[in-house]
């Protein structure tokens, strides 16, 4: 046996105002895919997604990247997989290319990935889930990480900088936001906890694709817009808007290939779709999950000024809730 520990479901943050004062640490919110990295004593490395799916084969360039740092001990890390643009900022669309179809060699050339490590959940025989955040971060900081595919970002406290000033700096750098983590907090696998509070600067929303409208002009024969849904508190899928911008040429081709086999006759949304959006719509089984950026969610339950970011295979359709 290789001695690789089992996966740990990620602890999740609650969105809210940035807490200010003692007792909190502040970390940059990264724009990528959540990942649990598990390392065996012999350096064998395995990766699992937020849903617990095996994704090691998607990222062969990350094999063994933390083997030297762990010094022959098994370990479990929590972090985010990102692709960095030339300016050093995470690029979500480039990250998407790692999950699109195509030869692995091409994907590696076009989208080298970095594992942003922000938590240590096990080291050797010591399971650290009940240890406070401060101990886990101190142990992580002491590991001799020296690999271009790995980064351990600094965390700050109110003693280092005013949190709102830090948020301004993050915004100026074009990053996604901040996550505040209670210094005394334990790691609670698979749960959303108010011990972690996220303050996003970019409004993003997971969406369920319930239909599409054919394109015109240079998009003739391709997807013109996607019809989007989210689940209401009663569990029913509601129409919450559409998106017709932000698609790469590759994304348009991939979406059409995925949507056609999902065709159905009936609209999957429980509420009424506006007539101008339902006209010429092609309804599909609501199994595809994507993500959009948007400026506003209106009082009548609609996303406004949307742009497509890409598919999310780490979120289940039933986990997608409508904003508000």
Instruction: Give the tens place of pLDDT for each residue, 75-116.
Output: 999 999 999 888 878 888 778 766 654 444 354 445 789 999
Q: Which of 321, 264, 261, 244 is nearest to 289 (CA)?
A: 321
pLDDT > 70? residue 206? yes
CA–CA dist 181, 174 (Å, integer): 21
Looking at domain 204-319, its CATH architecture is: Beta Barrel (2.40)
Return the pLDDT at 105.
39
The string of pLDDT tens digits covering residues 258-284 is: 999 999 999 999 999 999 999 999 999
Q: Which two tokens stand for residue 138?
A: 């101190």
| Size of the chain in residues | 324
Give pLDDT, residue 110.
57
**C-alpha span between 61 and 44 (Å, rounded):** 13
Whether 29 sits among the annotated catalytic residues: the reply is: yes
Q: What percent of the chain has pLDDT over 90?
A: 74
In the chain, where does the domain assigned CATH 2.40.50.140 lie? Answer: 204-319
Report the pLDDT value the prediction gives residue 264, as an integer from 0 to 100: 97
Q: How confident is the model at residue 179 (pLDDT cuts 50, 70, 90)?
A: very high
Please, what is the average pLDDT of the chain?
91
Distance CA 137, CA 27 (A): 11
CATH number of 12-200: 3.30.470.30
Residue 74 has pLDDT above 80, yes or no: yes
C-alpha 282/C-alpha 19 separation (Å) is 45
Q: How many CA atoms lie within 13 A of 281 on its CB side?
A: 24
Q: Identify the pLDDT of residue 109.
A: 47
Q: Where in the chain is the domain with CATH 3.30.470.30?
A: 12-200
Q: What is the mean pLDDT of residues 219-247?
A: 95
Output the pLDDT for position 12.
96
In the predicted model, what is the mean pLDDT of residues 184-190? Answer: 97
- Which listed residue (29, 46, 181, 198) is catalytic? 29
Quick one: pLDDT at residue 306?
Answer: 94
Cα 11 to Cα 78, 166, 266, 268, distances in angstroms: 9, 23, 37, 31
pLDDT at residue 22, rounded to an integer: 87
> Helices in the chain by DSSP H: which ranges?
67-70, 92-97, 104-110, 133-142, 163-172, 249-259, 275-278
What is the pTM for the complete model shown? 0.79
Token pair, residue 52, equals: 């617990």
pLDDT at 99: 61
pLDDT above 60: residue 285: yes
The more confident residue out of 303 and 112 is: 303
Mean pLDDT on 318-323? 94
- Mean pLDDT, rounded, for 287-316: 92
């Amino acid at each position: 046996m290789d001695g690789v520990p089992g996966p740990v479901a990620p602890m999740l943050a609650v969105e809210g105002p940035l807490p200010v004062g003692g007792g909190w640490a502040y970390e940059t919110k990264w724009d990528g895919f959540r990942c649990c990295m598990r390392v065996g004593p012999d350096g064998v490395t395995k990766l699992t997604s937020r849903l617990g799916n095996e994704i090691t084969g998607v990222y062969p360039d990350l094999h063994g990247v933390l083997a030297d740092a762990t010094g022959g001990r098994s370990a479990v890390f929590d972090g985010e997989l990102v692709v960095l643009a030339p300016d050093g900022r995470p690029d979500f669309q480039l990250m998407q290319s790692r999950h699109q179809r195509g030869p692995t060699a091409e994907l590696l050339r076009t989208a080298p990935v970095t594992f942003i490590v922000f938590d240590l959940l096990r080291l050797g025989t010591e399971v650290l889930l009940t240890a406070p955040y401060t101990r886990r971060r101190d142990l992580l900081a002491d590991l001799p990480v020296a690999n271009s595919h790995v980064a351990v970002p600094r965390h700050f406290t109110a003693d280092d900088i005013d949190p709102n000033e830090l948020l301004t700096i993050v915004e100026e750098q074009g990053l996604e936001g901040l996550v505040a983590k209670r210094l005394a907090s334990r790691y609670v696998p698979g749960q959303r906890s108010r011990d972690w509070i996220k303050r996003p600067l970019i409004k993003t929303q997971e969406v369920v694709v319930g239909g599409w409208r054919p394109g015109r002009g240079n998009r003739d024969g391709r997807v013109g817009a996607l019809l989007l849904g989210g689940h209401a508190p009663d569990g029913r899928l509601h129409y919450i808007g559409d998106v017709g911008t932000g698609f790469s040429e590759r994304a348009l081709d991939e979406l059409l290939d995925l949507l056609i086999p999902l065709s159905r006759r009936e609209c999957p949304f429980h509420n009424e779709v506006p007539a101008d959006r339902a006209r010429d719509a092609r309804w599909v089984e609501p199994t595809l999950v994507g993500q959009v950026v948007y400026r506003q969610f209106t009082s009548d339950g609609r996303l406004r000024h949307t742009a497509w970011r890409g598919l999310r295979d780490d979120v289940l359709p039933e986990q997608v809730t409508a904003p508000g």
